Amino acid sequence: MKKFIAVTLILLFIIAVIIFFVFYKSRRLEPTTTGLPSWCEIYFSHVYNGDPEVAKKNPRNIDKMLVQKLNVAQRTIDTALHELDSKVIADSLVDAEKRGVKVRMVTETDYMNEDSIEQIQGEGIQVVNDMGRGGLMHNKFIVIDGRYSWTGSFNTTDNDAYKNNNNAIFIDSFAIAKNFETEFEEMFILKKFGSHSPENIPNPIVRMPDGTEIKTLFSPEDDVDDAIIAELNKARKSIFFMAFSFTHQDIGQAMIDKYRAGVDVRGIFETRGSDTSYSQYPPMKAMGIPVKQDTNKWILHHKVIIIDGETVITGSFNFSKNAAKTNEENVLIISGNRAIVQAYLDEFARVYGESISVTKLFF
């Protein structure tokens, strides 16, 4: 009898181990860049030749990767999305709700009449908007099962998936997820937006198991522009950036000052709006900084800064006063992981037109 019980327990243990690994494997996806840590995946919209139909057919385009994440949610999906008009993403949210996942959304008032918003509301998903205030609910983040966070420049729209240059980062961390969850509930439950948002990030600095440091910031309450300038002031070797909108004079001046001090400063501006008196493109160009206007016939929508081959700044935050003072925005400052830096450098190099290596930058 004892032998039978022992054998049974061993078999049950083996079955449990098999189930665990099958389940774990089903929740992990291959990142677009090799060498990334196991807790992180990075994605870009594949709009290399400006043909939306090619991007639509790419099985690893940014929208399809997000759908894969949503499809493995078990308990909750909380979304703070500036705009939602992607049918494949809306369908995935509806499917999650139907299989018992609790789905909630915060969005920008101006886009409440989108067909996708009406679709998910029709399925019982509660949607809260920012009540038509002066600033924008400009976040693009998602929290899955209180563990996984998705954020970046990617609006959940067909244009951002198939036409515009965008990025997203997916992080497996309860601590990071808690930061985004707390911000989400401020908007969804407390209805606090803009200047009414409290400063209450549970884990403002998170050190990952491999030593990578991640700072989470939300605008306007966390003075994101000052935090970005502080990071720029640390630059010793290089500052590379990709900017949809770059009108913030103090951030621009910090880059100009670093260029004067001998730091390699290069950048890519979205063409539309970059020749205006508000943009930082003209003064940087006049200084001789090698900045370029994007050649995508649609839109360069990135909001990324890469410093010294060591630090990446990414999120929803355009480099503007509106982003700093009135909009709802989020930013991650990720330091100490060269594989992550290289992923963003590869995208910068592709758009800028010049290959760049972390190793060459740092040494």
The two domains 37-196 and 205-362 share their CATH topology (first three levels equal):
yes
What's the pLDDT at 24?
36
What count of residues does the chain have?
Answer: 363
Q: What tokens were used for 166?
A: 């965008």
Alpha carbon distance 315, 29 (integer Å)? 21
Dihedral sign (CA 164, 328, 67, 306): positive
Q: For residue 139, which phi and psi values (nearest 5 degrees)?
A: -60, 155
Q: What is the mean pLDDT of each run of 10 residues along the chain (363 residues)?
A: 53 45 37 76 85 88 97 98 97 98 98 96 97 94 98 97 97 98 97 90 97 98 97 98 98 98 98 95 97 95 98 98 97 97 96 74 55
The pTM assigned to this predicted structure is 0.89
List the beta bridge partners of residue 44: 167
Following DSSP, what letter does each residue of 173-206 receive, concatenated? -HHHHHHHHHHHHHHHTS---GGG-----S-SEE
**Helix ranges restricted to H, 58-206:** 62-71, 87-98, 115-122, 158-162, 174-188
- Decide: helix, strand or coil at residue 273: coil
What's the pLDDT at 2?
52
Yes or no: domain 37-196 corresponds to CATH 3.20.20.140: no
What's the pLDDT at 20?
38
What's the pLDDT at 196?
87
CA 66 to chain centre: 11
Query: 271: exposed, middle or buried (C-beta count within 10 Å: 0-12, 13-18, 19+)?
Result: middle
What's the pLDDT at 35?
87
Yes or no: domain 205-362 corresponds to CATH 3.30.870.10: yes
What's the pLDDT at 115?
96
Name the residue ranges covered by the structural domains of the chain.
37-196, 205-362
Q: For residue 155, which phi and psi values (nearest 5 degrees)?
A: -75, 145
Alpha carbon distance 95, 183 (integer Å)? 25
What's the pLDDT at 22?
37
Q: Tally the C-alpha atoms within 13 A of residue 142's C-alpha that lie toward its C-beta.
A: 23
What's the pLDDT at 51?
83
